[in-house]
Amino acid sequence: MSFKVVIVGGVAAGPKVAAKIMRLNPEAEVTVVEKGKFLSYAGCGLPYYISGMVKDQKDLMSTPIGVVRDTAFFQKVKNVRILNETEAIEIDRARKRVRALPKGKKEEIWLDYDKLVLATGAKPVIPPIPNVNLGNIYTLHGMHDAEAIKSLLGEARARDVVIVGGGLIGVETTEALVHSGCRVTLVEMLPQVLRVLDWEMARLVEQHMESHGVKVMTNTQVTAFEGEDRVTGVMTTRGHLPADMVILAIGVKPNVDLARAADLAIGPNGGIRVDDTMRTSDPNIYAAGDCVETTDLVTGKPCFVPLGSTANKQGRVAAINVCGGTDRFPGVLGSTVCKVFDFCVARTGLTEAAARQHGYETVMVLVPDVDRAHYIPGAQLIVMKLVVDARTRKLLGAQAVGSGVGDKRIDVAAMALTAGMTVDQLSQADLCYAPPYATALDAIITAANVARNKLDGLLAGISSQEVKQRLDAKEDFVFLDVRSPAEHAETHLAGSTLIPLGALRARLNELPKDKEIIAFCKASLRGYEAARILQGAGFTRVRVMDGGVAAWPFEKCH
C-alpha cells in the first residue's frame, strides 16, 4: 500500500513539501488541496507586479526557466496530484482523512492520509472600520488583489490612494503605487512606520518616502471610509483624505480555522503550535509556513513571523520528517529586507525597544558609513544600528537603512546572532574586501568597533532624541559640530556651534570646562575623535551624539 500524504495549501510551503517528499520517496502518493486557482506563485513579488517592474503575471508563477507551475507541471514533473479551486473543510483525525469541496460543486470528497501537512498560510486582517466593504478597498494578499489594483491604474486611473498600515506590505505597495503615478498617503496608527525598526531608523525611511512625494501620517487612526459604492474618502483622527482607492495593509494573521476546528494546539500568537520537527499536537499532522508559530532564536520565545524564506525552510524540514527522516527547524531571527524607493531597509534580531521590553540592559550604536570605498563611483551611505547586550557583549539585533548595500551587512549580523557572537568577535570577522564592494573595515565591523568603544567606556553616546529634547527645553550645553565649514554651510543643526576637528586643539580655550559638551559630525567618527581630544585636555563632561547629522531624524537647516 502506498504512502499517502495530503497537503492543504498550494502557494509557498505546500508545494515545497510536495516536491521534497517526491524526491525523498518517489513512491509516495501526494495530493495538494488548494482553495485558489493559482499554485506556487511568488506572493512577495506582487508589489513589483503592480509597479510594472514585473511585466507578466506568468513571471510570478514560473520556474526560473520560464515553465509555469500549473497543475500539469506538478503532475508531469513532480508527480504530485493537485486539486486546486478546492477547499479543505474538515480534518477527521480519527480516521485520518480530509473532507474537501471542489469550487462550484456540491459533492464533497474525502482524502485519506497517512500524514497530513497544513500549509494554510495567513490571511489579511480586516479592521472593523465603518464602510470597510466599499468598492476599491483592497488588501494585497493574492493574485486576484493585484489584478484588481492594477485594473484601477489604467486610463481612468486612481489618483489618490490611501494605504492603511505602514508595515512591510504597506511600504512596498506605497512605492509600487507612486511608480504607477498615484498620489499616496500612508496612514499609520503607531508613532512610526515599519515597527520592525526602532523609531529613529524608521524616521529615516519616512523622510525618504516623503522625499518621493509620499504623505506619511503616523499617530493617525482611520475612523471611517466614505463613499456610496466605491470609496471616495477616508476619515482619520487627523482629518479627511480624498481617496479613489484604499489598500488595507494592517497585517496578517495565521489561517488556523481548519486546525482549530480539528482541536490542534494553537500557540500564544494565534498560529498552529509545532515542535522543531514541524509536527503539530497530532503526530500524523505537520504544519509549515505562515500558519505556524516558530521560535525567536534570540529570546527563545514563540513568535509569529510570516515570511516566504521561512516557509520554504520549514517545508523542507516537514517533508523530511513526514518521510521518516530527522530534521529540525531551529527558529527565526526576524531577518528581513525591504526596498523603499532608493533605500535598502534591512534588519535582524531584536530592536532596541524590543530588547528592553525583554529585560535586556542594552548598549546601542548608530553608525553611518559608506558601503564601499568612498572613492569608487556609486558608493552610498548606510546607517547601521547595532543593539548589544551590555552584560554579555553579545549582539542582539541590527538594522540598516540607506541607499547603500545594507542587506549584506544584515545577513552578516544574522550569522553573528545565529552563532551567539559578541561584538568583539564580530569586529574581527574576516569579511571580503575590495574597493568596489566594501571598505577595508566593513561598515558592520566599524559599527561593532564603535559598540566595543562604548562598552569599554571610551565613548559616551547620547541619542539624537535626547539631544532634541534638551535643545527644545533650552538646556545649557555646547552642541559642538566638528565638521568642516563647507559641510556646515550646506546643512547644519539648529543650536550648534562649529569648530572643525582640525582646529579643535588650537581653539580649546573657546570651550567652557563647566558645561556639558555634545560633539557630533556627519557620521560621528570625528565627533568621537573630538571627544577624545577634549577628554585628553581635561574636559570631563563630553558625549558624542549617536549617528551625527547623517542619522538626525528631525529637521535640518539648509
| Residues that are catalytic | 44
Residue 472: all three cell numbers together: 527644545
Q: Which of 18, 42, 182, 493 binds its own copies (CB under 8 A)?
A: 42
The correct pick among 339, 470, 492, 541 for binding its own copies (CB under 8 A) is: 339
Contact 412, 384 (CB under 8 A): no
Closer residue to its own copies in complex, CB, 100/287: 287
Among 247, 438, 499, 517, binds its own copies (CB under 8 A): 438
Among the candidate windows 343-351, 388-396, 466-474, 489-497, which touches its own copies by CB under 8 A?
343-351
Residue 346 C-beta: closest distance to its own copies, Å? 5
Using CB under 8 A, pick the residue from 6, 22, 153, 234 that binds its own copies: 22
Residue 362 binds its own copies, judged by CB under 8 A: no
Does 332 help bind its own copies (rule: CB under 8 A)? yes
Give, as ranges, the residues between 64 and 83 that touch its own copies (CB under 8 A).
64-65, 67, 73, 76-77, 79
Phi, psi of 288 (to 5 degrees): -155, 155
Distance between alpha carbon 196 and the CA centroid of its chain, in Å? Answer: 6
Shortest Å, Cβ 414 to its own copies: 6
Q: Where does this chain touch its own copies (CB under 8 A) — which range of 52-60, 103-111, 223-231, 246-254?
A: 52-60
Burial letters 375-403, b for 16+ CB under 10 A, else e: eeeebebbbbbbbbbeeebbbbbbbbbbb
Residue 126 interacting with its own copies (CB under 8 A) = no
Quickly list DSSP for 50-106: HHTSS--GGGGGB-TTS-B-SHHHIIIII--EEE-SEEEEEEETTTTEEEEEETT--
Q: Is 60 a binder of its own copies (CB under 8 A)?
A: yes
**Residue 18: Cβ-neighbour burial (10 angstroms; 0-12, 13-18, 19+):** buried
Are 292 and 274 in contact by the 8 Å Cβ rule? The answer is yes
Q: Binder to its own copies among 242, 487, 491, 541 (CB under 8 A)? A: 487
Q: What are the cell numbers at 506?
A: 588650537
Nearest to 30 by CA among 43, 39, 19: 19
Binds its own copies (CB under 8 A): choice among 501, 519, 542, 544: 501
Contacts 24+ apart (CB under 8 A), 537-543: 537/505, 537/508, 538/513, 539/511, 539/513, 540/513, 541/515, 541/516, 541/517, 542/460, 542/516, 542/517, 542/518, 543/460, 543/461, 543/462, 543/516, 543/517, 543/518, 543/519
Q: Is 429 in the site for its own copies (CB under 8 A)?
A: yes
192 touches 166 (CB < 8 A):
yes
Q: Which residues on neighbouring strands pair with residue 285, listed in sequence order?
A: 116
Taking alpha carbons only, the member of 531, 514, 391 closest to residue 459 is 531
> Which listed range, 197-205, 265-273, 402-410, 488-496, lies at the site for its own copies (CB under 8 A)?
402-410
* Range in contact with its own copies (rule: CB under 8 A) among 211-219, 261-269, 312-320, 388-396: 312-320
Contacts of its own copies in 82-111 (CB under 8 A): none
Q: Binding to its own copies by residue 414, rule CB under 8 A? A: yes
125 binds its own copies (CB under 8 A): no
Closer Cβ to its own copies, 296 or 546, answer by number: 296
- Shortest Å distance, C-beta 274 to its own copies: 15
Asked if residue 128 binds its own copies (CB under 8 A), the reply is no
**Least gap, CB of 182 to its own copies (angstroms):** 20
Spatial contact of 299 and 327, defined as CB atoms under 8 Å apart: no
Give 226 or 327: the residue with its C-beta nearer to its own copies.
327
Give the residue carrying C-alpha cell 574581527.
428
Q: Which is nearer to its own copies, 79 or 221 (CB)?
A: 79
Instruction: Tell me the helix, strand and coil percentages in the chain, rounded to 5.
Output: 30, 25, 45
Q: Which of residues 155-174 bind its own copies (CB under 8 A)?
A: 172
Decide if residue 310 touches its own copies (CB under 8 A): yes
Considering only residues 180 through 209, tell me which ones interact with its own copies, judged by CB under 8 A.
none
Nearer to its own copies, 181 or 325 (CB): 325
Can you tell me the distance from the alpha carbon of 540 to that of 280, in angstroms, rounded to the nearest whole number?
Answer: 59
User: Rounded to whole angstroms, how far apart are CA atoms 290 and 253?
Assistant: 8
Give the shortest CB-547-to-its own copies separation in angstroms. 16
Select 40 or 236, whichever has its Cβ closest to its own copies: 40
Q: Which is nearer to its own copies, 312 or 464 (CB)?
A: 312
Task: Please report, as residue ranges, which positions from 459 to 478 form the binding site for its own copies (by CB under 8 A).
Answer: none
Using DSSP's 3-state secondary structure scheme, residue 385 falls into strand
Q: Answer yes or no whether residue 508 interacts with its own copies by CB under 8 A.
A: no
Amino acid at 40: S
Minimum CB–partner distance for residue 153 and its own copies (Å): 19
505 contributes a contact to its own copies by CB under 8 A: yes
**Residues between 525 and 544 with contacts to its own copies, criterion CB under 8 A:** 528-529, 532-533, 535-537
d(CA 555, CA 228): 41
Which triple of cell numbers denotes residue 105? 460543486
Residue 470 DSSP SS3 = helix
Nearest to 428 by CA among 445, 440, 443: 445
The reply to whether 431 sits near its own copies by the rule CB under 8 A is yes
Q: How many chain residues are in contact with its own copies, going by CB under 8 A?
A: 99
One character per residue 135-154, x = contact with its own copies (rule: CB under 8 A):
--------------------
Residue in 477, 484, 491, 516 binding its own copies, rule: CB under 8 A = 484
How far apart are alpha carbons 393 and 15 in whole angstroms?
42
Give CA–CA dist 183/164, Å, rounded: 14
Minimum distance, C-beta of residue 219 to its own copies, in the bound complex (Å): 27
